[in-house]
Amino acid sequence: MSAPLHARIPVLLYHAVTDDPPDWIAEFTVTPKEFAAQLDAIVDSGRTPIRIGTLVDCLAGRVPLPPRPVVLTFDDGFADLPGPTAEALAARDLPATAYLTTGAITPGRASLLPPAPMMALGQAPLLEQYGMEVGGHTVTHPQLDTLSAAAVRRELRESKAALEDELGHEVLHLAYPHGYNSRAVRRAALAAGYRSAVAVRHALSSERDEAYRIARLIVRRTHTVADVTAWMAGQGAKAAPYPDSLPTVGWRLYRRARAALRGPEFAG
Ligand SMILES: [Zn+2]
């Protein structure tokens, strides 16, 4: 049985916030005007905004869950994040969690993300000054569930170390690129020292969700304030935990075969 409405926890996934995104990320980009309206709707919902670290402590029973929590997350590290996006969040006292793809934000390094205006790794401490928590999102943004165990280990550890060097403290939280994970990938995340990992799943999280595949709702450019308001009410999506569906398993096998042939593509 899925979680009752009141126990459902929306964990939103944003990417870039800009009027002028490159085509490849446009589907997952919201305009600054729409973003501001969505943040206002989140504030008006009366939910308690928390960082992923707090949610994970709650899932583990270390601290009590605040009333009606909501979590805002930002993936990849687009250029707007340490600028207008952080300011829009700070102006409303909204904490958030940013998952950074270190290869995409480090000069001289490469990632599988197509070109886009990105922040710099050196701005990671600035995100924390704005009240954000910083998590890892691998080095090159691969589909982790299609890689060898050694490659998964390298992606998880090298990105964690790069962020820790920059921030001067431990980085405990991970976002799987595209949300893709498997039992082996989840075990590798734990072994690499992450205390949690977020997936995508297009579902609401709940106090019974799994710490190494926390469900998130991806915000697309077509989503409106009405969608956000519905999510804040615990509606508009199913709630995790629930088992992988057969199509999810089949899709993974298909992607593994395709990745072997021609490498990965962006899927959120
Ligand atoms: Zn990503």
Distance from the CA of 140 to the center of ligand 1, in angstroms?
10
- Using the mean position of ligand 1's atoms as its centre, give its distance from the Cα of residue 268 in Å: 6
Which residues keep their CB under 5 angstroms from ion ligand 1?
75-76, 177
What's the gap in Å between 62 CA and the centre of ligand 1?
Answer: 29
Rounded distance from Cα 159 to ligand 1 centre (Å)? 13
Residue 209 C-alpha to ligand 1 middle, in angstroms? 21
Per-residue confidence (pLDDT) for residue 256, from 0 to 100 = 77
- What's the average pLDDT block by block, 10 residues per block, for the chain (268 residues)? 72 98 97 98 97 96 94 98 98 98 95 96 98 98 97 98 98 97 97 97 92 96 97 92 73 76 57
Per-residue burial over 132-171, b = 16 or more CB atoms within 10 Å of its CB, e = otherwise: bbbbbbbbbbbbbbbbeeeebebbbbbbbbbbbebeeeeb
Under CATH, what is the fold of the domain 5-262? TIM Barrel (3.20.20)
- Residue-level pLDDT at 260: 67
264 CA to middle of ligand 1, Å? Answer: 12
Residue 177 Cα to ligand 1 middle (Å) = 5
Output the pLDDT for position 4: 67
